[in-house]
Chain A
């Protein structure tokens, strides 16, 4: 069959155009649900915390909702949200002459839900993973094999290992939420189960002083963004580049 060069180029051109159309139709953006990913974050206003020194409302609420056992043995204890002295929570911001008010009140500590979480990269079973849709660092207890690499990797001590059966240490079990079995690691889940029902995290809800502010960093009108732009805030161990999503007003 004879085909001259001119004819071949014409055919090639038209086919190219046609192919382009097909590709566009298949990958039509309107057909793909484009939900803008969120970046959930928290701001903890330590000025308000300082006024209520012995307040434990956020911790009690969190630990009650999530069936966190109260184990007295500090080597076995389980913590989702707790208090830590300033020099332990913020070693890189600490110095000899730090103001007394910063030093005197322990900071409220929980999982930072880092943008660059080291616990996720070390997990051999991907039991810990970062949710793309809102940035929550989640745990899949079904997959956790209890190797505790994540506990070594986390620079914030946010993770606890279940050395023993938790049930005997839970005063009142919340039947709607599972407990954890012996041999898995656990930590704060930013109340993923409550967020799914459009509720705010239990600690935020429990705080009468409104010292914990929760919201989406991607939304410029959100309360967290407003608080962040209006105040000086710090994050824990920023030099490690884990990019925490929990901010502190000191």
Chain B
């Protein structure tokens, strides 16, 4: 091989660069955090099971949106028979108080597009209650 030292050094530099995110994470630990979305509630569970909500909250919210605006159906009957108002601000955000303390944390972590709900929908202005 011609210029073996140069080529091999080049390859090593290339490999180091391409794996740099791994080295960065090992040295600082910043990339491997686990998000801790905050809620404030006395309820034992969400309107449906946590697993269901994690997997399906986006479809549920989209369905609620269409039901309320276009179908004028405003009451959701959960699997366990309990009834809830189909409302982001008036139902979900009673416990999931804050967009930045709850929604954004996982969406950031998973690299998922940030929802635009709060361009219009209000989040209850309760930063103080989150702290205590």
Binding site for B on A (CB under 8 A): 129, 131, 133, 138, 140-142, 173, 175-181, 192, 196
Contacts and interface: CB of A to CB of B under 8 A. Distances in A.
B122 A181 contact: no
A231 B69 CA distance: 35
A181 B69 CA distance: 16
Given A131-B72, A133-B72, A178-B89, A142 B65 contact: yes
B72 A181 contact: no
Nearest to A67: B122
A210 to B, nearest CB: 28
Contacts of A178: 89, 120-122
A181 B116 CA distance: 10
B63 interface: no
B40 interface: no
* Best-buried of A173, A178, A180, A181 by chain B (most CB within 10 Å): A178
Contacts of A133: 72
B69 A175 contact: no
B25 to A, nearest CB: 37
* Best-buried of B89, B120, B125 by chain A (most CB within 10 Å): B120
Interface secondary structure of B, over-half rule: loop
User: Closest 6 interchain pairs by CB?
Assistant: A181-B119, A178-B120, A175-B122, A140-B69, A178-B121, A181-B120
Contacts of B74: 196
Interface secondary structure of A, over-half rule: loop
Given A141-B120, A181-B120, A176 B89 contact: yes
B131 interface: no
A175 B70 contact: no
A108 to B, nearest CB: 26
Contacts of B124: 175
Interface residues of B, number: 14
* Best-buried of A131, A141, A175 by chain B (most CB within 10 Å): A175
A176 B72 contact: no
A180 B121 CA distance: 8
B89 A142 contact: no
B124 to A, nearest CB: 6
Given A178-B89, A196-B74, A173 B69 contact: no
A176 B90 contact: yes
A28 to B, nearest CB: 23
B72 A180 contact: no
Nearest to A134: B72
Contacts of A196: 72, 74
A177 B68 CA distance: 13
Interface string B37-71: 00000000000000000000000000001000110
B72 A173 contact: no
Nearest to B70: A140
27 contacts: A131-B72, A133-B72, A138-B69, A138-B70, A140-B69, A141-B120, A142-B65, A142-B69, A175-B122, A175-B124, A175-B125, A176-B89, A176-B90, A176-B122, A177-B122, A178-B89, A178-B120, A178-B121, A178-B122, A179-B120, A179-B122, A180-B120, A181-B116, A181-B119, A181-B120, A192-B72, A196-B74
